[in-house]
Amino acid sequence: MLALLPAQPWARNWQDVAAELDTSAELGLSRDEVLSRRDRYGTNCLAQAKPKSAWGILLHQFRSLIIALLAVAALVSFFSHAVVEGVAVLIVIVINTAIGFFTEIRAVRSMEALRDLGTVPATVRRHGQLQQITAEEVVPGDILVLEAGQVLSADARIVSASRLQADESTLTGESDPVAKHEPPVAVGTPLAERTSMLYRGTALNRGSGEAVVTAVGLATELGQVSEMIAEAEQDATPLEERLDALGQRLVWITLVIAAAIIALGLMQGRAVLLMIETGLALAVATIPEGLPIVATTALARGMWRMARRNALISRLSAVETLGATSVVCTDKTGTLTENRMTVRRVVTAEGDYSVTGGAFETDGSFVRDGVAIEAAGDPLLRQTLMLGALCNTAGLHDGPQGRVSGAVGDPLEVALLVAAARAELEKPHLLEHYPLVRQEPFDPDLKMMATYHGDGRRVLVAVKGAPERVLSRCEHVLTAEGEVPLDDDARRSWMSRNEELGREGLRMVAAAQKYVDDPEEPPYEGLALVALIGLQDPPRQEVTEALRLARMAGVRVIMMTGDQATTAQQVAKAVGLVQEHDTAPITGTDLPPAEEWSAEDKGRLLGTSIFARVSPRQKLDLIGLHQQRDSIVAMTGDGVNDAPALEKADIGVAMGLRGTQVAKEAADMILLDDSFNTIIYAIEQGRVIFRNIRRFVLYLLSCNVAEIMTVTLASVVDAPLPILPLQILFLNLVTDVFPALALGVGEGEPGIMRRPPRDPHEPILARRHWIDIVIFGFTITVGVLGALGLSMFWLRLPEHEAITVSFLTLAVAQLWHVFNLRDPNSNWWRNDIVGNKYIWGAIALCGGLLVMALKLPVLANVLDLVNPGTMGLLVALGMSLLPLVVGQLVILPLKRWRLSSPQAEKPQQSSATPITPQDGVQEEADGDFDTRRSPRTNCRT
Ligand code: ADP
Ligand code: MG
């Protein structure tokens, strides 16, 4: 039962609304109150996107051409009184449907589970403390702490707002952001103009503030229209579309071949019924019906594997693109570094201080000239720490013994709070003396933020930000004697001090202040510099290895950071992104606008690996530049302003921990651990998945081609049909599927990261793959016809026995054939196919099915199998090994030789990817990842 919620909160004072909701803006709700409200108002959920029903998935299996063909086959059988065969065909339909159904439902359910993993966070104030909770836990009366980049998790009445702006297009369709303020509006104001309210599902793109939750779940405006929000149906991915297109093409080829075979057979005077059935069976055989199922399974498996390693894919097609990624643009803080910051240095006009102590320890000390000092006795140091704590949106939770048990907010700001706490300057106490009047949130373009505090007489403006930006707004510098003017020389010497500290890898901010009378005065004018603060943010250890892997894989990594050049370069060196002699970083502020880039500029930009002080706009332009060179670009981002770049990049990567909701929604992939390594892992998995898909397509098609060739050749030479219609169905719809599924879920081998990225334009099957299909298909055919010939002319077996031999040869040869799909450069007995336990499982299963087909009277009867005797079985076994032996001893070595011979064109690296793989140059082009940009063949799929 829903309890009452405040009516028309937009038209009333927020105090009234809060009072009616029995909550306080300063303290928020108590723990008990939260629980009782969750009971009363329910969890904050909208109508869930419905999971696909099992019935729907089952019906989906029947909507296919194969089933139609099989149904025709069954009808033909019944009409010609071949009841047993008709029933058999029906059974085949059932089995095939069952396999399809169970595979698809598994894949679908696991993708649905993945979708549920993406929870949305919300920051609230409860019992006086800031808390991160999930959106579902928000209850009416909660005080939301708002920040640009959030997506609202409930409807709320604004309590305070500082330059708050919301993008309400999801609700109102209006794409211009709306400014939000605290004062109430008229009762009759339409939704789009209620500036005192914020609504669930809309995004904050600027400013900060607080608001009291007035409605959750279905009671929100969004909840009330949520039945209108169509279930977001995943579109078919390009890959699935291409597989579909491939299927369509094969259908026509098949029908022509089937018709030809029927015609030929009739001309030779074979039984009409047999020929129609053979034609139909071949048609069924060639249509790659297994493809979509296996593809879905391969994608779902891959996505799960990625999710377990902290990469959440939000768009299925991203998987495919990931594998072709050739450029990764990454930011620095938190991705290459740990984002666990500690204040290490403070530089004021009076001296240079080092700070000791760990990230969350408040008992560190301040050292000046090798001597530990009391911060309280040093006014400038004290002032610096105070500004750092005031000009700050983070919060600490106190823990025992001088430790901090937890923190909310930007790690840089948390570090400043911890440093201040070491000098007994606690933010809550400071705020009692210097209450917050107004705040100017951190602006990623300006790279500064400011807070205004009344101190009884005047208003103190506390500013912190990127040193060169702050310095350019300072007219004075604070010394022990008070403010003195800042001349150009002094400015330069501060700047060079700043760069020196940056070269130590410290992340630098400057603190400045001024006093004003009117809190509405602009913040960044006529400031007095107080100090430079250097923060340490240790590089992530594991990144070095990932960068090595990326280099080997021909994936170019570019750092794009808002930080200053010296710091960026030092971190890049520390993790091994650049070497000593590499080109210097380019600073965004020195860059002309993109429209003015000359050819020479572009060359320089393409060759640079570190961009410092880049603006979100410049990120967009740089991505565009790389994309023009045919690169597939992945780009990381966390802020609201990164959203356009995330959308423009082929793979937008949002940070799960520190990223804003807006960035996450714009992204194709979310890194749950924010780690660079996860990107490289995802690229590897993208490659593995694509390769798996290509492999099972190759496998299924070569098996099918073998079947068609066998029947066609036998028809041409007027031999008995080596495989009968039902046998063809049995092979295709039962036994082929399992090895293909096993190939689809292969885990990949290390060699996959020793090759350059795949050409994004290349179809799933390039010409060389079609050649492979025909060659392998032909080898299998030779084995099968050979077995038929041997049993007829050497063993002199009767026709039925001979056909059993040729059927078994084909069936077993197809099983062995999976081993031919290994990478030609791999070892024949140790590769990822031999190492794939599912492959062995599939072989065992299919082997068992074949034994059953032979031994089980019912099945043997239907499939027309008779015991061919020991010799017959030996012939079948021997001839079935032919394609494997020829494949391993002749075809694969030949492929390897062709790929590594000096005549082979070298892989074309676009100028955008000047890095060539260092290790494994021999292995750069295997059957799957041949980088020779083959001319667009007419077999584009
Ligand atoms: P990054 O790419 O490292 O995430 P940012 O754009 O976050 O870079 O930061 C750029 C610069 O802005 C930093 O070098 C720092 O000087 C300054 N800065 C970052 N965060 C804050 C903040 N919360 N308050 C003030 N200045 C900041
Ligand atoms: Mg940042």
CA distance 23 to 293: 53
Q: Is 562's C-beta closer than 6 angstroms to any atom of ligand 1?
A: yes
Kindly report the protein residue whose alpha carbon is nearest to atom 1 of ligand 1: 562
**Which atom of ligand 1 is nearest to 410's Cα?**
23
* Residues 52 and 111 sit within 8 Å (Cβ to Cβ): no
CA distance 100 to 387: 65
Residue spans of the chain under pLDDT 50: 1-2, 228-235, 903-941
* Residues 489 and 519 sit within 8 Å (Cβ to Cβ): no
Spatial CA neighbour of 212 closest among 163, 149, 152? 152
Kindly report the protein residue whose alpha carbon is nearest to atom 9 of ligand 1: 562
**Which atom of ligand 1 is nearest to 444's Cα?**
6
CA 43, distance to chain mean position in Å, is: 29
Q: Is 678's C-beta closer than 6 angstroms to any atom of ligand 1?
A: no
**Which atom of ligand 1 is nearest to 564's Cα?**
14
**Which atom of ligand 1 is nearest to 567's Cα?**
14
| Interval between CA 560 and ligand 2 midpoint (Å) | 11
Which of the residues 155, 167, 331, 378 is marked catalytic?
A: 331
CA distance 785 to 83: 30
**Which atom of ligand 1 is nearest to 507's Cα?**
14
Biggest CA–CA distance in the chain, Å, is 114
Spatial CA neighbour of 508 closest among 543, 466, 462? 466
| Interval between CA 731 and ligand 1 midpoint (Å) | 62
pLDDT in tens, 237-284: 666 677 777 777 777 887 888 888 888 888 888 777 777 777 877 777
What pLDDT, on the 0 to 100 scale, is given for residue 815? 95
pLDDT in tens, 620-662: 899 999 999 989 999 998 877 788 888 889 999 998 877 777 7
| Interval between CA 678 and ligand 1 midpoint (Å) | 23
Tell me which H or E stretch contains 803. helix 799-817
Task: Select from 412, 569, 660 the residue to mutate for testing ligand 1; criterion: most ligand atoms less than 8 Å from CB.
Answer: 412
* CA distance to 98, 288, 522, 802, 856, per residue, from 862 (Å): 20, 24, 88, 17, 10
| Interval between CA 642 and ligand 1 midpoint (Å) | 14
Q: Is 611's C-beta closer than 6 angstroms to any atom of ligand 1?
A: no
What pLDDT, on the 0 to 100 scale, is given for residue 116? 63
Q: Is 449's C-beta closer than 6 angstroms to any atom of ligand 1?
A: yes
| Average pLDDT of the chain, as a whole number | 84
Q: Which ligand is closest to the CA of 509, given by its number? A: 1
| Interval between CA 936 and ligand 2 midpoint (Å) | 43
Q: Is 614's C-beta closer than 6 angstroms to any atom of ligand 1?
A: no
Q: Which amino acid is at 517?
A: D
Q: Which ligand is closest to the CA of 447, given by its number? A: 1
- 327-330 and 197-198 strand pairing: unpaired
| Interval between CA 335 and ligand 1 midpoint (Å) | 14
Q: Which ligand is closest to the CA of 658, given by its number? A: 2
* Residues 704 and 723 sit within 8 Å (Cβ to Cβ): no
What pLDDT, on the 0 to 100 scale, is given for residue 651? 92
Spatial CA neighbour of 788 closest among 709, 720, 716, 718? 720
Q: Is 136 helix (H, G, I), strand (E, B) or coil?
A: helix
**Which atom of ligand 1 is nearest to 638's Cα?**
4
Q: Is 464's C-beta closer than 6 angstroms to any atom of ligand 1?
A: yes
CA distance 589 to 569: 16
Token readout for 182 is 């605290």
* Residues 846 and 815 sit within 8 Å (Cβ to Cβ): yes
The structure's pTM equals 0.79
- Lookup result for tokens 């928000």: 138
> Count of H helices and E strands in the chain?
31, 28
| Interval between CA 164 and ligand 2 midpoint (Å) | 20
* Residues 589 and 615 sit within 8 Å (Cβ to Cβ): no
Q: Is 378's C-beta closer than 6 angstroms to any atom of ligand 1?
A: no
| Interval between CA 412 and ligand 2 midpoint (Å) | 9
* Residues 452 and 443 sit within 8 Å (Cβ to Cβ): no
| Residue 331 known to be catalytic | yes
Q: Is 587's C-beta closer than 6 angstroms to any atom of ligand 1?
A: no
pLDDT in tens, 814-834: 999 999 999 888 888 888 899
Q: Is 332's C-beta closer than 6 angstroms to any atom of ligand 1?
A: yes
| Interval between CA 178 and ligand 2 midpoint (Å) | 25
Spatial CA neighbour of 786 closest among 885, 889, 875, 886? 875
Compute, in degrees rounded to 10, the torsion defined by CA atoms 920, 926, 931, 933: 160
Kindly report the protein residue whose alpha carbon is nearest to atom 8 of ligand 1: 562
Q: Is 561's C-beta closer than 6 angstroms to any atom of ligand 1?
A: yes
Q: Which ligand is closest to the CA of 410, given by its number? A: 1
Q: Is 210's C-beta closer than 6 angstroms to any atom of ligand 1?
A: no
840 Cβ neighbours under 8 A, 6+ residues apart? none
Token readout for 578 is 């650049």
What pLDDT, on the 0 to 100 scale, is given for residue 226? 56
Spatial CA neighbour of 305 closest among 658, 742, 696, 746? 746
* Residues 347 and 532 sit within 8 Å (Cβ to Cβ): yes
What pLDDT, on the 0 to 100 scale, is given for residue 920? 35
Spatial CA neighbour of 151 closest among 652, 674, 675, 667? 667
Q: Is 509's C-beta closer than 6 angstroms to any atom of ligand 1?
A: yes
Q: Is 563's C-beta closer than 6 angstroms to any atom of ligand 1?
A: yes
What pLDDT, on the 0 to 100 scale, is given for residue 240? 67
Spatial CA neighbour of 632 closest among 875, 196, 314, 329? 329
Q: DSSP letters of 862-929?
A: HHT----HHHHHHHHHHHHHHHHHHIIIIIHHHHHHHHHSTTSPPP---TT--PPPSS-GGGS--SS-
What pLDDT, on the 0 to 100 scale, is given for residue 54? 83
**Which atom of ligand 1 is nearest to 561's Cα?**
2
CA distance 527 to 472: 9
